[in-house]
A and B are shown apart, each in its own frame.
Chain A
Amino acid sequence: MLSMIVLTVAGVLALFLGFTKTKSLILPVAMLGVLASAAAYYFYQSLWGEWLLGMMGTFGSPSVFVGLLLACTFVILPFLNVYKLRGGGELGDFTGIILFSVIGGMMMVSHQDLMILFLGIEILSIAMYILAGADRRVIQSNEAAIKYFIMGAFASAIFLFGVGLYYVSTGSFKIFDVKIIAPELYSISILVLFAGLAFKLALAPFHFWAPDVYQGAPTIFTAVMATLVKIAGFGALFQLFRYHAGFVSEWIYWMMILLALLSMLIGNIMAFSQTSVKRLLSYSGIVQAGFILIGFLHTRIENTWMVAYYLVAYVLASLASFFVIYFVENKKGSDDIGEFKGLYYQNPVLAVVFTIALVSFGGVPLTAGFMAKLFVLNHAAGFGSPALVLVSLVLAVASMYYYFKLINQFYTSDESGVKSWDISWGYKGMLIVLSVLTLFLGLYPYGIYPWIS
């Protein structure tokens, strides 16, 4: 709770600093706020095990996902500075909004009560609608915001419907220690809740908003959507399934397998013929979400690390690739695949960072993405779904096609005669750190085990 209060204070401070002339203080204050919040969470975790009459708690998985959320925010914040340079202007507002959205995410992952989960989803989502429309003068950005908002409201309604069914069938909003009064209705309520969350996670067939919104939103906020929302969503799903998947009939796993396969299949098919890199990555994100969902089969607290590991690998690669797209877009004004031609000769660091991120998405050995897929598929094989493993493998291999099509562009020499260009060392350093972490986790996957289990 204290950590959320700290974040709120930091967010409000950022908003106020936006009015004053000391705009350069905004990001340091926000980053300090994130650190302080993490410290508060870490040190008061045992004291404040449950908050708000037990509607939120830290027992089990939440602490892992909260840590991921805060770490991810900490990496994203400094890159906002570049957005300011581009003339966006309202740095204080966006910093504050991102911090508030993290609070929503923290509520989602540590909920023990569906009301809190719903509140968290709304806080996070409203923040995202605003961020998607941040570029007011660009029509696509506006379109993305409106689309996301209407669809999101619709999904929220579905989710609320699920909450209602849950209440009817159990007589409570609490997610554990419930008496199931009407088993069939209860099962359907879990399914509907699942569908509501699946929308946020962009799992097929609830994924249609994702490509449009990812492409239209300013790239830096696309990175926020691709990472923070996914962490929060999967964290919330984990918390929910941890208590309930066991009570629902075996069919819930078939549903998950179905959604996972559908996501991987549709994501791959659509990614094949994209020319916008942001759109391509949004489809690739759908594929990755499908893979993560496999880790939810037979959700148990012991599986937290596996899901968290995949999320870490995914977040590292996503941040790196969206940041690179962001810089290239800044430079050339478009994220078309052709703009990446000869990137290696213009800016070798960006090209190599992007390459590592893409092969990690594809699951090439020695990267974190490979180990993540290995763990998840091993899990699936352990529960006797060889067909699922086989299909996933084939689809993972097929995804190499469009990743390498993109990578190929970086190393093809470009005749347009664009001079080599550079970005400042601070950003370059952070991108390199992301890549090194990707490789490090591929070589030494158990290195973060104590942190995520």
Chain B
Amino acid sequence: MNSEFLIHLILWAPLVGFAINGIFGSSFSGKTAGFIACLGPLTGFVSTVLLWSGFDQTIQINYYRWFGTPDSFSVDFSVMVDQLTLLMLFIVTGVGTLIHLYSVGYMEHDKGFVRFMSYLNLFIFSMLLLVMGSNLVMLFAGWEGVGLCSFLLIGFWYKNPDYNKAARKAFVMNRIGDLGFMLGIFLLGLEFRTLDIPTLLSSMEHIESGDPKIILITILLFIGVTGKSAQIPLFTWLPDAMAGPTPVSALIHAATMVTAGIYLVARMSGLFNLAPFTLDVIAWVGLATAFVAATIALRQNDIKKVLAYSTVSQLGFMAVALGCAAYSTAIFHVMTHAFFKALLFLGAGSVIHGLHGEQDISKMGGLRNAMKSTHLVFLIGTLAIAGVPPLAGFFSKDEILAAAFSHSIWYFVILALTAVLTAWYMFRLYFATFHGSYRGSKETEAGIHESGLVMLAPLFVLAFLSVVGGFAGMPETISSKHLVSDFLKPVVADHAHSVSHSFEYILWGVTLVLLVLIVWLTNKMYSVNSAEVFRSGSGWVGRILEGKYYLDEIYETLISGPLRSTGTWFKNVMDPGVIDQAVKLPGLVFRNAGVALRPLQSGIISWYMISIVLGLLAMIYLFLF
């Protein structure tokens, strides 16, 4: 089929689904609405496969000139598909389809089912706009669109004030990042007189590396990334975002939206390569994020919170890869992470569903008998994220570690330590949930049930992908072909060095030994019958971790608090005293001027005529002298 037609189909199908469900949804039965909603991303996925099969070069479609100024600066409503976009399309539409399917089962009893499905469709559309946009304004439109959908979906159960608060927090934190992003876009537009991404990147050739302007622009863009991709210091919204329904956590807050920042940096890799300082900043922020989030995850008891911090930590890994200029490695990890993190979240959702809403792992345990399928897929997901060979996470994480090692030993040490922590908290979660004996109340135990097929089917597909997904990017020691980075080579400007083979072997050996040790230890500690080990620790380390480094409180005292008291001061003193007066003054001037001038509009014709004559005479006078 015509590839332009396929691109139209990919982009617009979810929007059509959203429109149909959004406008006529109230008269549909749940089944019809669910079917229509799933059709959007499914069409996109099939079209993506077809597009990929006949793909040979970048395709750009210009819908129309959006706006511009007479002096040649112009922004088009246009999309493009190149290798990087194609890969993201696979992730967005593929994982998106599975999660839509799962939602049909997970949300079927909810009153807002149709609303939920239409939001999901709108999200997919925005995400597609983000990855397909061929200029930064289009990308930004998608970027804001996913932010809006995230806000709507976190606060989906809007009757709960806490959820609304979480939604607001996510939105505000993202806005802080967006400000940086916007400023970056403005500066780019000022500097290069274009926002078209291919044109921008091709004009980078004449720029010297380390140009201060480029450094400023890239830092601003990265501030946007810290918001959307949950990096320090703007990451605290992501764990709170778990207030949304679990499929949302899987789709938006694990698999797709939060990787938008990583995508942005990879997309603009030609720009970031010119700013080594920014790359260092990205790497260090990524390291800190990965480590801090992993340590917090060690002491969380909410199954979704653990996964949320794990997501933050994994995003930190990706940022480190970006910081080492190993962009295709980061994208590779985006891909594998989408598989296994979606799997874990949906598995957790299945557990929560089976336990009628229980999320506290200290009240779980022994579920491996009651929920056999869920147990199996969750185990696969755990193995994948912990980096057990040859599952998906092993290859991508190994690649990031190698990139970090080739860059600096310190990167490697911190990252390796974080990887160990990752395995620890994941196996803790796994053993606490599925092993030992059930620690909840007797009445709830009877109600435990396995989820239905419509929820399990996507889980199996994701489990399969989590097992084999890593083979798309095997290291040199095994295969000379690295499918992902070879595919991305034309569009992503990788800058990373490779490491020696012997190092790879040593790394694997150490990994394996450590993994076995961790599994043994966590099994011993957390496959338990009583909830004793999940109680709060008395040591200060434990308390800090449980308190999530008290970051929320620090932000509260250092930023929100002062802001709020400034706000109160403004409200009580500044606003009525100065601002109101300043606003009222022009208003008053205009009003009084209006009243004063009113006699002019007297309704007496002779005065009107005199004014015309006077006006004309004044004009001629001014004109002549």
In the complex, the answer to whether B611 meets A154 with C-beta atoms within 8 Å is no
Interface residues on A, range: 35 or more
B586-597 near A? 1/0 per residue, CB < 8 Å: 110011011101
Q: Does B541 contact A (CB under 8 A)?
A: no
Query: A208-B601, A212-B603, A382-B70 are contacts. A191–B612 as well, Cβ < 8 Å?
Result: no
DSSP majority for the B interface?
Answer: helix
In the complex, the answer to whether A251 meets B595 with C-beta atoms within 8 Å is no
In the complex, chain B residues whose CB is within 8 Å of the CB of A209: 608
Q: Does A211 contact B (CB under 8 A)?
A: yes
Question: Considering the complex, which residues of chain A in the window 245-277 have a beta carbon less than 8 Å from any beta carbon of chain B?
Answer: 251-252, 254-255, 258, 266, 268-270, 272-273
In the complex, the answer to whether A270 meets B597 with C-beta atoms within 8 Å is yes
Write the chain A residue with the least CB distance to B590.
Answer: A272
Write the chain B residue with the least CB distance to A209.
Answer: B608
Shortest C-beta distance, A376 to chain B (Å), equals 11
Shortest C-beta distance, A135 to chain B (Å), equals 18
Query: A272-B594, A378-B69 are contacts. A401–B587 as well, Cβ < 8 Å?
Result: yes
Q: Does B23 contact A (CB under 8 A)?
A: no
Q: Does A358 contact B (CB under 8 A)?
A: no
In the complex, chain A residues whose CB is within 8 Å of the CB of B616: 158, 192, 195
Q: Interface segment, A24-32, A81-89, A323-331, A444-452?
A: A444-452
Q: Does B446 contact A (CB under 8 A)?
A: no
Write the chain B residue with the least CB distance to A449.
Answer: B65
In the complex, chain B residues whose CB is within 8 Å of the CB of A254: 622
In the complex, the answer to whether A206 meets B64 with C-beta atoms within 8 Å is no
Q: Which of B591, B605, B619 has the most CB of A within 10 A?
A: B619
In the complex, the answer to whether A268 meets B597 with C-beta atoms within 8 Å is no
Cα distance A255–B624 in the bound complex, in angstroms: 11
In the complex, chain B residues whose CB is within 8 Å of the CB of A273: 591, 594-595, 598
Cα distance A379–B70 in the bound complex, in angstroms: 8
In the complex, chain B residues whose CB is within 8 Å of the CB of A191: 619-620, 623
In the complex, chain B residues whose CB is within 8 Å of the CB of A428: none
Write the chain A residue with the least CB distance to B600.
Answer: A208
Cα distance A269–B592 in the bound complex, in angstroms: 9
Q: Does A151 contact B (CB under 8 A)?
A: yes
In the complex, the answer to whether A195 meets B619 with C-beta atoms within 8 Å is yes
A207-232 near B? 1/0 per residue, CB < 8 Å: 01101100000000000000000000
In the complex, the answer to whether A269 meets B593 with C-beta atoms within 8 Å is yes
Q: Does B5 contact A (CB under 8 A)?
A: no
Shortest C-beta distance, A303 to chain B (Å), equals 10
Q: Does B67 contact A (CB under 8 A)?
A: yes
Q: Does A181 contact B (CB under 8 A)?
A: no
In the complex, the answer to whether A151 meets B590 with C-beta atoms within 8 Å is no
Shortest C-beta distance, B496 to chain A (Å), equals 42
Query: A208-B608, A255-B622, A269-B590 are contacts. A371–B67 as well, Cβ < 8 Å?
Result: yes
Q: Does A187 contact B (CB under 8 A)?
A: yes
Q: Please tell me which one of the listed residues A184, A205, A272 contacts residue B611 in the complex, with CB atoms under 8 A apart.
A: A205
Shortest C-beta distance, B99 to chain A (Å), equals 30
Q: Does B56 contact A (CB under 8 A)?
A: no
Write the chain A residue with the least CB distance to B616.
Answer: A195
In the complex, the answer to whether A151 meets B623 with C-beta atoms within 8 Å is no
In the complex, chain B residues whose CB is within 8 Å of the CB of A151: 605, 608-609, 612
Write the chain B residue with the least CB distance to A279.
Answer: B601
In the complex, the answer to whether A205 meets B590 with C-beta atoms within 8 Å is no
In the complex, the answer to whether A199 meets B593 with C-beta atoms within 8 Å is no
Shortest C-beta distance, B603 to chain A (Å), equals 6
Query: A192-B616, A255-B623, A446-B65 are contacts. A398–B590 as well, Cβ < 8 Å?
Result: yes
In the complex, chain A residues whose CB is within 8 Å of the CB of B591: 272-273
In the complex, chain B residues whose CB is within 8 Å of the CB of A379: 70
Q: Please tell me which one of the listed residues A155, A184, A255, A378 contacts residue B612 in the complex, with CB atoms under 8 A apart.
A: A155
Shortest C-beta distance, A122 to chain B (Å), equals 18
Q: Which of B67, B70, B586, B612 has the most CB of A within 10 A?
A: B612
A268-304 near B? 1/0 per residue, CB < 8 Å: 1110110000000000000000000000000000000
Q: Which of A191, A208, A209, A398 has the most CB of B within 10 A?
A: A208
Query: A188-B620, A205-B611, A272-B590 are contacts. A266–B71 as well, Cβ < 8 Å?
Result: no
In the complex, chain B residues whose CB is within 8 Å of the CB of A195: 612, 615-616, 619
Cα distance A188–B625 in the bound complex, in angstroms: 12
Q: Does A244 contact B (CB under 8 A)?
A: no
Q: Please tell me which one of the listed residues B64, B598, B611, B620 contacts residue A446 in the complex, with CB atoms under 8 A apart.
A: B64
Query: A251-B623, A272-B594 are contacts. A154–B609 as well, Cβ < 8 Å?
Result: yes
Q: Does A150 contact B (CB under 8 A)?
A: yes
Shortest C-beta distance, A182 to chain B (Å), equals 14
Cα distance A374–B69 in the bound complex, in angstroms: 9
B257-272 near A? 1/0 per residue, CB < 8 Å: 0000000000000000
In the complex, chain A residues whose CB is within 8 Å of the CB of B611: 205-206, 208
Shortest C-beta distance, B466 to chain A (Å), equals 42
Cα distance A341–B149 in the bound complex, in angstroms: 34
In the complex, the answer to whether B623 meets A206 with C-beta atoms within 8 Å is no
In the complex, chain A residues whose CB is within 8 Å of the CB of B614: 205
Q: Does A174 contact B (CB under 8 A)?
A: no
In the complex, the answer to whether B597 meets A266 with C-beta atoms within 8 Å is yes
Query: A266-B597, A378-B69 are contacts. A158–B605 as well, Cβ < 8 Å?
Result: no
In the complex, the answer to whether A206 meets B612 with C-beta atoms within 8 Å is yes
In the complex, chain A residues whose CB is within 8 Å of the CB of B597: 266, 269-270
Query: A212-B603, A270-B597, A272-B594 are contacts. A205–B612 as well, Cβ < 8 Å?
Result: yes
Write the chain B residue with the least CB distance to A401.
Answer: B587
Write the chain B residue with the least CB distance to A402.
Answer: B590
Shortest C-beta distance, B315 to chain A (Å), equals 33
In the complex, chain A residues whose CB is within 8 Å of the CB of B590: 268-269, 272, 398
Cα distance A266–B596 in the bound complex, in angstroms: 12
Cα distance A151–B70 in the bound complex, in angstroms: 40
In the complex, the answer to whether B623 meets A158 with C-beta atoms within 8 Å is no
In the complex, chain B residues whose CB is within 8 Å of the CB of A258: 619, 622
Cα distance A127–B210 in the bound complex, in angstroms: 71
Shortest C-beta distance, B599 to chain A (Å), equals 12
In the complex, chain A residues whose CB is within 8 Å of the CB of B65: 446
In the complex, the answer to whether A154 meets B623 with C-beta atoms within 8 Å is no
In the complex, the answer to whether B615 meets A382 with C-beta atoms within 8 Å is no
In the complex, chain A residues whose CB is within 8 Å of the CB of B608: 151, 208-209
Shortest C-beta distance, B594 to chain A (Å), equals 4
Q: Please tell me which one of the listed residues A255, A270, A444, A446 contacts residue B594 in the complex, with CB atoms under 8 A apart.
A: A270
Write the chain A residue with the least CB distance to B589.
Answer: A269
In the complex, the answer to whether B64 meets A447 with C-beta atoms within 8 Å is yes
In the complex, the answer to whether A187 meets B623 with C-beta atoms within 8 Å is yes
Shortest C-beta distance, B182 to chain A (Å), equals 15
Shortest C-beta distance, B190 to chain A (Å), equals 15
Write the chain A residue with the least CB distance to B593.
Answer: A269
In the complex, chain B residues whose CB is within 8 Å of the CB of A445: 67
B135-153 near A? 1/0 per residue, CB < 8 Å: 0000000000000000000
Shortest C-beta distance, B305 to chain A (Å), equals 39
In the complex, chain B residues whose CB is within 8 Å of the CB of A206: 611-612, 615
Shortest C-beta distance, A91 to chain B (Å), equals 31
Write the chain B residue with the least CB distance to A158.
Answer: B616
Question: Considering the complex, which residues of chain B in the window 74-126 have a beta carbon less than 8 Å from any beta carbon of chain A?
Answer: 77
Shortest C-beta distance, A248 to chain B (Å), equals 9
Cα distance A445–B66 in the bound complex, in angstroms: 7
Write the chain A residue with the least CB distance to B615.
Answer: A205
In the complex, the answer to whether B594 meets A158 with C-beta atoms within 8 Å is no
Shortest C-beta distance, A290 to chain B (Å), equals 14
Write the chain B residue with the least CB distance to A205.
Answer: B615
| Extra pairs beyond A150-B605, A206-B612, A206-B615 (12, CB < 8 Å) | A188-B620, A188-B624, A195-B619, A208-B601, A209-B608, A211-B601, A268-B590, A272-B587, A273-B595, A398-B590, A444-B77, A445-B67
Q: List 18 A-B contacts (CB under 8 A).
A: A151-B608, A151-B612, A158-B612, A195-B612, A195-B619, A205-B611, A206-B611, A208-B612, A212-B603, A254-B622, A258-B619, A266-B597, A268-B590, A269-B597, A273-B598, A374-B67, A398-B590, A444-B64
Per CB-CB distance, the 7 closest pairs between chain A and chain B, nearest first, are A205-B615, A208-B608, A273-B594, A272-B594, A272-B590, A269-B593, A195-B616
